Amino acid sequence: MSQYFLVAAGGTGMRCLQSFIQLCALGMFPKKNITVLLLETDAENKDKANAEQLATWHNYLQGKAKAEESKDKTNDGTENKGAESSMVGDYFSANIEMCVFVPDYSRDDSRNFKVISQVERGNSEVNHKLANIFYEEGVQEFNLGHGYRAQTHLGSYLMYHAIIQEIRTAISDDIYMRKSELYRFISKVQAASAGDGARVFALGSTFGGTGASAIPIITRAITDSCKILTGDKISMDNIYYGAVVLSSYFKFPPPSDSHLKEDKIIANPNFLEHNSASALMYYVNDGTIKKTYKRMYILGWGGKGFAPNNTDDYKIEFLGKPKNATDKTATGGKAQENPCHVLELLAAFSAKHFFEEQTTPSSALPDIMETQFRYKSFELDGIGDSLMPKIEWDDLFSVQKPAKQDSTDAVKIHDQMKDNFVGMVIFAAIINSAFEGKVSNFLSCLQAHGKTYELTEKETESIDAYLQYFYSSKSQQNDGVVPGWFKQIYLTFHSIKSEPGKMFLGIPSGVLSASERGAKWYLALDRNGLDAKKAQNLFISEFLKTAGSGNFNALMAGIRSTVTTIGIKNELAETLIEKK
């Protein structure tokens, strides 16, 4: 079976990666080995930092019981390939290995295109004239420390050569080789290509800087790097590339005249749709793209009913940004932290569609001679100006839930994923509202009733932080609440300021209200007459009955079984959105 490799490029790629890791945390890729290359030009990008932190939490919580590990080994200790299941598994059951590559543009000899290309050396007049044919003066001179600023024609050129140069440097220096995470990623792709094959899936945007620059060249860069490792003795026939590209789906304030005069090159939201359209025309017509990518998934968010979220509204409402702030438009760094969006979750499911044997059989990949393009379309619900996308649960999965007589396993996958998803929402809400955001308080409660779980200090810290990131956390700016990943996706549909709809993924809006710490979590249960205290007592009593003692895995299995026993709203399987 092909090995799985994921490339997350740029800010949008980082947020898509966050959704992918969330799916791993929710059990979507049980016991699968997934090697991730985090590709960024802006070392301090907050979206990048968030993705890395999420992966760190996942890996701390990913440990398996010894008995489970032994099931996947043959008598000689090698991997038992027959033991791998396509079923949805336990929480945090994927094996994620993170590799990071950030070209260093902080040095004097790499700060902009002019110094990298050494325009001033030799016949500088001729060199300048040649450079001016391809790039405007401002493009040649802007500081690359915050990335490529939507200048993809420059970014693709620089990114390809940065990757190739890193690999050449690594193979010439053993000490450097051991430190190079890009070399580690490429060597794993090369090794997989010599075996059963490597599936490499890229996540990025069509409108931005790093992601939009990387998608066109990443197939050539990885393949050429593999050839460097093997002395050009590798064919790309056994490396199967896929990608998801997101067109413009959010907006932010345009740069001021004074900021433009100072920095010259700044991404402008007024041009993002144009950038997306131009990029998509390139993707569907370029011969190299069509020969190298097996599948490309196209996602967009525009037109009537698909209003783009304003990232400034989110930052003002939840991150403490002053309403009348005259800050410069963020070009990157720690200021680049945008709210998550449902398109990024769909991008993660696109990766699943490409990776999974059920939807992309290994036997079919060699016969795909030209890129297969895949799209998503949604119905609109509502009347007049109140139109809103209607996305059902099956839209996320790509493969509809079959009848039980057709495939019992597929039905279990569908249902268990829902249970995992809602179980995590309920668990996070309970810990936030009833146990002061501390899992240790919940464990102390259980211990008082005779049930003990052995969690390490690092596991406890990681699950506390993960649940807050998943659901909500206390604001560092005021007494309010910062919505977590899942609530941010909910806000995709209802915006920051409008009244929420009735349901999201079958979960009542009271559970997902942006300002709610989780006190109304019981509304997600299929029980009448509950209040917060009765619901808490019910949850604890059922948990004590159904859950087994043990380690972190046993704790999370107990959460899922308790939620399933109590019963969640039956709308979960039917609809993602219901208007009031």
pLDDT of 68 reads: 39
The model's confidence at residue 64, banded by pLDDT at 50, 70 and 90, is very low
Q: Using alpha carbons only, how large is the chain's radius of gyration in Å?
A: 24
Separation between Cα atoms, residue 47 and residue 44, nearest integer Å: 9
| pLDDT digit string, tens, across residues 530-554 | 888 999 999 999 999 888 888 888 8
Mean pLDDT along residues 89-107: 84
Residue pair 421/486 in contact (Cβ under 8 Å)? The answer is: no
Nearest to 218 by CA among 174, 283, 147: 283
Centre a 10 Å sphere on the Cβ of residue 393 and count the other Cβ atoms it contains: 20
Residue bearing the bigger pLDDT, 375 or 386: 375
Mean pLDDT along residues 402-428: 72
Nearest to 148 by CA among 331, 336, 344, 333: 331
Centre a 10 Å sphere on the Cβ of residue 409 and count the other Cβ atoms it contains: 12
| pLDDT digit string, tens, across residues 261-291 | 555 445 555 556 666 666 677 777 787 888 8
Report the relative pairing of strands 250-251 and 379-381 from DSSP bridges. Answer: unpaired
DSSP assigned state of 79: B
170: exposed, middle or buried (C-beta count within 10 Å: 0-12, 13-18, 19+)?
Answer: buried
The model's confidence at residue 432, banded by pLDDT at 50, 70 and 90, is very high
SS (H, E, C) 320-351: CCCCCCCCCCCCCHHHCCCCCCHHHHHHHHHH
93, amino acid identity: S
**Predicted TM-score of the model (pTM):** 0.84
Scanning the structure block, which residue is given the tokens 């808490």? 536
Question: Lowest mean pLDDT: which of 8-12, 91-95, 113-117, 162-166?
Answer: 113-117
pLDDT of 44 reads: 81
Q: What is the residue extent of each domain of the chain?
A: 3-65+79-105+143-315+342-377, 408-578
CATH 3.40.50.1440: does it fit domain 3-65+79-105+143-315+342-377?
Answer: yes
| Mean predicted lDDT score pLDDT of the chain | 77
Nearest to 436 by CA among 457, 462, 464, 476: 464
**DSSP labels for 197-230?**
-EEEEEEEESSSSHHHHHHHHHHHHHHHHHHHHH
Q: Which two tokens stand for residue 550?
A: 């043990």
Nearest to 17 by CA among 1, 41, 40, 44: 40
